């Protein structure tokens, strides 16, 4: 099943779908982080906006106060070469393939990157049950192809070369017919006191119909030396608990195989980047993401900590005081398309 979804889902061009393949990495010494996103958006009504690829790069540097620098370009979907049996994307100066990502985006200053990575752990499926990937619900699917990737290469920001050799991160792949109504998502694979340990979790509320929403659902888990822990079944998500209180998220999984699990993450709002996420039906949600969140993970009495957590929130309304990037309507998105 993992192999089935390690490909570009939107390659056949079916309307009503979004898809994201992204890379994130953190410097072990805390000097910086990056987030390179390759997004595909196929609106439900192509007459409102043609299918597009949204190419993003976000860089945080400690000596710049961890303020995010953001670049984006929108190109026609038809100009992108996509792999059908493997995650592969190529659009001129930006490409993503097995083990390598290369790109450049204009701006003031411009940015370019050349990144290679080695996988150190097997892929991680967030959902335990095959039907959750095969059926329409949940509307968002996700699998982490590289839960702990070690990067080599460099990012160039306006002529300043940032070496990323030995940075630790992951490659994430998610897609669906709409974004959740609201959520918090947390991930970590670089720890003060653990090796070969990954964490990924979320607390999410999903639209059902009209004004109806599901209760908050929480899934928390990961890999420890290649062995899966935590829960990813729908029953387990209902049995677990989570709390979303900007700028913090907490998740709790009750005792399972003798080891209850608790995680708490918190970000600094001044380090968060704000992005507008358009849904295939034209709705907009507001995403806030940081790569230097504090993390405390407790499993059966063992405690692991980090200051290199990826913490993201998605809300139906914006947060005051954080600049937003990206288009807020399909009309704006259509107007921004460049060949």
Q: For residue 65, what pLDDT band results from cuts at 50, 70 and 90? A: very high
Closest CA relative to residue 246, chosen from 228, 268, 263, 225: 268
Neighbours of 228 (CB within 10 A): 14
| 39 against 214, higher pLDDT | 39
> Does the pLDDT at position 339 exceed 90?
no
Percent of the chain predicted with pLDDT > 70: 98
Interval 137-167: pLDDT, tens: 888 999 999 999 999 999 999 999 999 999 9
Q: Where are the domains of the chain?
A: 3-336
Residue 234 corresponds to which tokens in the numbers above? 């729908």
Class for domain 3-336, per CATH? mainly beta
Look at residue 256 in the predicted model and tell me its pLDDT: 62
What whole-number distance in Å separates Cα of residue 262 and Cα of residue 173?
A: 25
> Does the pLDDT at position 257 exceed 70?
no
Separation in Å, CA 337 to CA 43, 79, 109, 235, 257: 14, 11, 21, 42, 51
> Does the pLDDT at position 338 exceed 90?
no
Question: CB of 152 within 8 A of CB of 166?
Answer: yes
Interval 184-218: pLDDT, tens: 999 999 999 998 999 999 999 988 878 888 899 99
Round the average pLDDT of the chain to a whole number and report it. Answer: 94
Look at residue 136 in the predicted model and tell me its pLDDT: 87
Interval 260-278: pLDDT, tens: 899 999 999 999 999 999 9
Q: For residue 85, what pLDDT band results from cuts at 50, 70 and 90? A: confident
Look at residue 311 in the predicted model and tell me its pLDDT: 98
Interval 102-116: pLDDT, tens: 999 999 999 999 999
């Amino acid at each position: 099943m993992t192999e089935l979804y390690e490909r570009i889902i939107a390659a056949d061009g079916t309307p009503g779908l979004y898809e994201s393949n992204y890379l994130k990495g953190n410097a072990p010494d805390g000097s910086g982080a990056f987030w390179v996103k390759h997004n595909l958006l196929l609106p439900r009504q192509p007459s409102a906006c043609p299918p597009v690829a949204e190419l993003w790069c976000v860089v945080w540097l400690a000596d710049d106060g961890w303020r995010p620098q953001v670049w984006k370009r929108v190109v026609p979907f038809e100009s992108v070469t996509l792999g059908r049996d493997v995650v592969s994307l190529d659009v001129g100066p930006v490409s993503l393939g097995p083990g390598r990502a290369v790109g450049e985006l204009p701006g003031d200053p411009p940015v370019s990157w050349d990144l290679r990575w080695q996988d150190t752990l097997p892929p991680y499926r967030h959902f335990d049950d095959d039907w959750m990937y095969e059926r329409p619900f949940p509307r968002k699917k996700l699998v982490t192809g590289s839960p702990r990737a070690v990067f080599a290469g460099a990012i160039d920001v306006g002529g300043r070369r940032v070496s990323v050799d030995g940075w630790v991160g992951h490659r994430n792949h998610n897609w669906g017919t709409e974004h959740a109504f609201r959520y918090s998502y947390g991930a970590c694979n670089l720890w003060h006191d653990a090796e070969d340990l990954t964490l990924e979790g979320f607390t999410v509320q999903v639209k059902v119909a009209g004004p109806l929403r599901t209760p908050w659902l929480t899934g928390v888990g990961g890999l420890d030396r290649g062995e899966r822990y935590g829960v990813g079944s729908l029953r387990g998500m209902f049995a677990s608990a989570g709390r979303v209180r900007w700028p913090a998220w907490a998740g709790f999984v009750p005792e399972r195989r003798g080891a209850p699990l608790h995680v708490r993450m918190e970000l600094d709002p001044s380090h968060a980047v704000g992005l507008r996420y358009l849904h295939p039906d034209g709705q907009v949600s507001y995403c806030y993401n940081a790569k230097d969140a504090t993390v405390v993970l407790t499993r059966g009495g063992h405690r692991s900590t980090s200051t290199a957590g990826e913490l993201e929130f998605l809300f139906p309304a914006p947060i005051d005081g954080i600049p937003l990037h990206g288009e807020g309507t399909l009309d704006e998105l259509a107007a921004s398309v460049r060949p």
